[in-house]
């Protein structure tokens, strides 16, 4: 019997206005931090130009400030990325043209090709945590510290590898032509923004794009490794197919109809993080009901935690500490202490 607390794809209400407002606010915060970076760097340069401190102290103070802003910007950009992830599942806007256009622009702000991501991400949903079948397998299947430091760069490599592969081997396939062209145009738009518009407003890319790039792998891993790392592998399907478009809710529901699979963590955070990262840390709920807008994930967790198994950790930092000294495909005993099946735990 269907749980009335879990809407179908047709029953859910997509928060389109909220999504647009949040994305505009986050883009505004990012641009504001660019101005702050330039003003702060100029102020520090002026101060050290007057006072006789060493060049080493000057450098350390200036770049500590800029890297701190880079970390902040990565939190903001990650928030934008989670909204674009809604677009991957076609629940950012109801109209699919605007859904894909706005998602593609947002993805391009951190130089990821949207349609390549959709192909990778939806295939990831089909084969979550299956060795070799899951496209995220190469990103995190390493020693903890290796995965933490290089995982983000591996993710970029996989996206561009797929984009180039589709460009040169599948461009004659009508399913791929427009996807590849639009991804290239989105990325060129982002390059125009960062390397032409921003400098023309008197903001150095050394104070904006460079600190963001330096801080990127750490914020990426803080969030992404808390999705699936250190969970036992899922039984591998014998046949693997690439998934290009989101599946309807009835197809997704068949995977939880009998025995829900544990392949993702739930990270309980504070209201600020819930808003900023759009509840993506209710990741197991998202994987069982990937057609649902992020607005439903907390309530579905509350409605189902009495009847479905979840592994729950309180906070991202606690999550990372828990994952240290473990492997990507872990043992059952490593997650048993975190299992929650009712509200008393």
Identify the pLDDT of residue 66.
95
> Which residue is associated with the tokens 């990831």?
124
Mean pLDDT per 10-residue section of the chain, whose length is 345 residues? 76 95 96 95 90 85 94 94 95 95 94 95 92 93 94 95 92 87 96 94 92 91 94 88 75 61 93 96 94 95 91 94 92 85 51
Alpha-carbon gap, residue 134 to 5, rounded angstroms: 30
Identify the pLDDT of residue 258.
56
The full 3-state SS of the chain, as one line of letters, equals CCCCCCCCCCCCCCCHHHHHHHHHHHHHHHHHHHHHHHHHHHHHHHHHHHCCCCHHHHHHHHHHHHHHHHHHHHHHHHHHHHHHHHHHCCCCCCCHHHHHHHHHHHHHCCCCCHHHHHHHHHHHHHCCCCCCCCCCHHHHCCCHHHHHHHHHHHHHHHHHHHHHHHHHHCCCCHHHHHHHHHHHHHHHHHHHHHHHHHHHCCCCHHHCHHHHHHHHHHHHHHHHHHHHCCCCCCCCCCCCCCCCCCCCHHHHHHHHCCCCCCCCCEEECCHHHHHHCCCCCEHHHHHHCCCCCHHHHHHHHHHHCCCCCEEEEECHHHHHHHHCCCCCCCCHHHHHHHEECCCCC
Q: How far is Cα of residue 345 from the mean position of the Cα atoms in its chain?
A: 28
Q: Show the CA angle centred on residue 89, arms to residues 160 and 113, nearest 5°.
A: 20
In this structure, what token pair is assigned to residue 239?
Answer: 């046949």
Q: Show the CA angle centred on residue 32, arms to residues 48 and 220, nearest 5°.
A: 95
Identify the pLDDT of residue 252.
62
Give me the residue spans of the domains in the chain. Answer: 16-340
Round the CA-based radius of gyration of the chain to a whole number and report it: 21
pTM score, whole prediction: 0.90
- Edge-to-edge strands of the sheet including 266-268? 266-268, 310-314, 339-340
φ, ψ of residue 9 in degrees (nearest 5): -60, -40
């Amino acid at each position: 019997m269907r749980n009335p607390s879990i809407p179908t794809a047709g029953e859910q209400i997509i928060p389109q206005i909220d999504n647009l407002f949040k994305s505009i606010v986050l883009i505004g915060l990012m641009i504001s931090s660019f101005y702050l970076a330039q003003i702060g760097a100029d102020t520090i340069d002026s101060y050290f130009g007057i006072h006789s401190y060493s060049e080493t102290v000057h450098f350390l103070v200036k770049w500590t400030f800029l890297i701190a802003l880079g970390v902040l910007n990565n939190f903001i950009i990650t928030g934008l990325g989670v909204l674009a992830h809604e677009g991957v599942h076609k629940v950012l806007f109801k109209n699919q043209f605007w859904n894909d256009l706005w998602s593609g622009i947002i993805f391009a702000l951190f130089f990821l090709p949207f349609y390549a991501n959709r192909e990778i991400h939806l295939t990831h949903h089909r084969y979550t945590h299956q060795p070799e079948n899951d496209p995220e397998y190469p990103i995190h299947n390493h020693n903890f510290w290796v995965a933490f430091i290089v995982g983000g760069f591996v993710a970029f490599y996989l996206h561009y590898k797929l984009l180039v592969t589709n460009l040169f081997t599948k461009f004659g396939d009508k399913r791929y032509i427009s996807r590849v062209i639009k991804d290239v145009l989105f990325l060129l738009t982002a390059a125009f923004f960062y390397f032409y518009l921003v400098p023309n407003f008197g903001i150095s890319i050394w104070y904006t794009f460079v600190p963001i790039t330096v801080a990127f792998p750490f914020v990426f891993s803080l969030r992404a490794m808390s999705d699936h790392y250190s969970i036992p592998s899922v039984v591998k399907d014998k046949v693997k197919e690439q998934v290009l478009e989101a599946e309807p809710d009835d197809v997704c529901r068949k995977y939880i109809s009998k025995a829900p699979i544990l392949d993702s963590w739930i990270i309980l955070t504070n209201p600020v993080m819930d808003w900023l990262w759009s509840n993506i840390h209710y990741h197991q709920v998202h994987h069982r009901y990937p057609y649902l807008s992020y607005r439903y994930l907390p309530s579905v967790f509350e409605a189902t935690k009495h009847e479905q198994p979840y592994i729950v950790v309180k906070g991202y930092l606690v999550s990372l500490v828990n994952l240290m000294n473990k492997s990507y495909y872990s043992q059952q005993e490593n997650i048993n202490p975190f299992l929650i099946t009712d509200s008393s735990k």
